[in-house]
Amino acid sequence: MYNHCRFPGALVSTHTRLTLIEMQKLGDFKLPNFFNYPPYFTLQPVRDTREKQIQLWKELVLEFCRSQKIFIISLEEDFPLFSNPTIERSLSHEAKEAFLSALVAEGRAEWIDKGHKKCLVLWHRIQDWADIILNFAKDNGLEDSVMTVEELRSGVESRGTELHGIDRTVLMRALKVLENKGKLAIFKGTSTDDDGVKFSV
């Protein structure tokens, strides 16, 4: 998936080559090769080069968030992808905002606040989440069945599926899409934990 191109003129020292061996994983996530090249941590001035750089970072952020089930990135808090201690490089605030803004422009993320400090990452678009919920309901024979929203997010049935641990805001928006299509009905409980869904798939 990752395009391992190098920036024109980027020098790869012996130290940097060694980090390719040392820094292949972040937890259980395999990092792409570009993560070990210092130029990728600085916004590139040449337009074509910057576009390639942004594309690589977009793919990395989406894949990492999907694998770790991360939905919200705060630019003011430490985020594992935004620095590489091995090569002593960190993204500037401007670079972080540029990469996340590129995801927002594609509909793969949304700024939660006007100050662009927190970003909701949509590694699946809302419509795709709606499809996942619908398939989950069909696979589990939930025709005319009722579940609470919390059961969808954290119940036994959703364990091992992408729905387990889904951000509540994302889930509610996806459910609304399905409700508008007549695939389910959402009804209010006595508390948000008791909000329910009745499928009619």
- In order along the chain (201 residues), what is the average pLDDT of each group of 10 residues? 47 42 65 93 95 96 94 93 93 96 96 94 95 92 86 88 92 95 88 82 69
pLDDT of residue 25: 66
Q: Which domain holds residue 157?
A: 126-199
Do 19 and 117 sit in the same domain of this protein?
yes
pLDDT of residue 144: 81
pLDDT of residue 157: 85
Do 133 and 174 sit in the same domain of this protein?
yes
Sequential DSSP letters for 111-154: ESSTTS-EEEE-SS-HHHHHHHHHHHHHHTT-TT-EEEHHHHHH
Going by C-alpha positions, the residue among 117, 101, 12 that lies closest to residue 58 is: 101
Residue 11: how many CB atoms within 10 A of its CB? 10
Do 24 and 111 sit in the same domain of this protein?
yes
Q: What is the value of pTM for the model shown?
A: 0.80
Which residues make Cβ contacts (< 8 Å) with residue 117, sequence separation at least 6? 74, 75, 76
Do 149 and 195 sit in the same domain of this protein?
yes
> How far is CA 148 from each of CA 6, 15, 24, 136, rounded to the nearest angstrom?
49, 53, 40, 14
